[in-house]
Each structure stands twice: as structure tokens, then as C-alpha cells.
């Protein structure tokens, strides 16, 4: 099945550093979501974006919906050890009467060192 392209695939950072990751698609979506997944657990929703160009924050997290509707970005400021995990972007094409299934990215594995 289709998977969106996420970069970087993995990153090692030090506590306190800022982190940036992005997600690109060959097709457009009208919703972008960012999830975090810990080992052995299901994805947990971090941020949802509903409008092209939208910039939304959730605590230390900030995400943007690209104006082309084919990409999205996630920034984490002042990283802490509990930010460790795999971050997934997901695109959604919401249309009345159809399934709002999610198309996920390949994931960015984040590891934070003290």
C-alpha cells in the first residue's frame, strides 16, 4: 500500500535541542495528522491540521499544513527524554460519504540523549 515519505528516518539529538521532521506525498490531502508511537503501543494523536497553510501548536510541538496540500512539517522545541519514540505523519482525504482512512508515512525514529 501507499506510504508517505518522511524524513529523516531517524535522528539522535541531545536534550534541549529543537527537532524538525517533514512528510511529503505525491497526492493531496485535506487533513494532515501527526502521531507518536511508543514500542508495543498504538499511535497517539499529537496534532491535527485541517486547512492548507495552517500552523498549529500543542505545547512544545508545532506543525504546519503545506500550502500545496502535499506536505506537512513537525517541529519539537527543547526536546526532553520522553520525546523518544517514532513519529508518524498521516494524510487523510475527507469527503462526505467515504471512508476517512489514513495514509501513514514511513516514520521518524527520535532518540534523545541527556
Partner 1 sequence: DTGVSQDPRHKITKRGQNVTFRCDPISEHNRLYWYRQTLGQGPEFLTYFQNEAQLEKSRLLSDRFSAERPKGSFSTLEIQRTEQGDSAMYLCASSPGQSPLYETQYFGPGTRLLVL
Q: List residues near partner 1 by CB under 8 A.
A: 1, 3-4, 33, 35, 40-45, 48, 50, 88, 90, 92, 94-107
Q: Which is closer to partner 1, CB of 2 or CB of 14?
A: 2
Q: How far is the CB of 34 from partner 1 (least distance, A)?
A: 12
Q: Which is closer to partner 1, CB of 7 or CB of 77?
A: 7
Helix (H, G, I), strand (E, B) or coil at 29: coil
- Nearest to residue 108, comparing CAs of 13, 23, 2, 3? 23
Contact, 67 vs 53, CB < 8 A?
yes
Q: How far is the CB of 100 from partner 1 (least distance, A)?
A: 4
Give the phi and the psi of residue 40 in degrees, each rounded to 5: 75, 10
| Helix ranges restricted to H, the chain | none
Q: Which is closer to partner 1, CB of 44 or CB of 78?
A: 44
Q: How far is the CB of 102 from partner 1 (least distance, A)?
A: 6
Supply the DSSP symbol for 94: -
Amino acid at each position: 500500500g501507499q506510504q508517505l515519505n518522511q524524513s529523516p528516518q531517524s535522528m539522535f539529538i541531545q536534550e534541549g535541542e529543537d527537532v524538525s521532521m517533514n512528510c511529503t506525498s505525491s497526492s493531496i490531502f485535506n487533513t494532515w495528522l501527526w502521531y507518536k508511537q511508543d514500542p508495543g503501543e498504538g499511535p497517539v494523536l499529537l496534532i491535527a491540521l485541517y486547512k492548507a497553510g495552517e500552523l498549529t501548536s500543542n505545547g512544545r510541538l508545532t506543525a504546519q499544513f503545506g500550502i500545496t496540500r502535499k506536505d506537512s512539517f513537525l517541529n519539537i522545541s527543547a526536546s526532553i527524554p520522553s520525546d523518544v519514540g517514532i513519529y508518524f505523519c498521516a494524510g487523510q482525504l475527507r469527503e462526505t460519504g467515504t471512508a476517512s482512512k489514513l495514509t501513514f508515512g514511513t516514520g521518524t525514529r527520535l532518540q534523545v540523549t541527556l
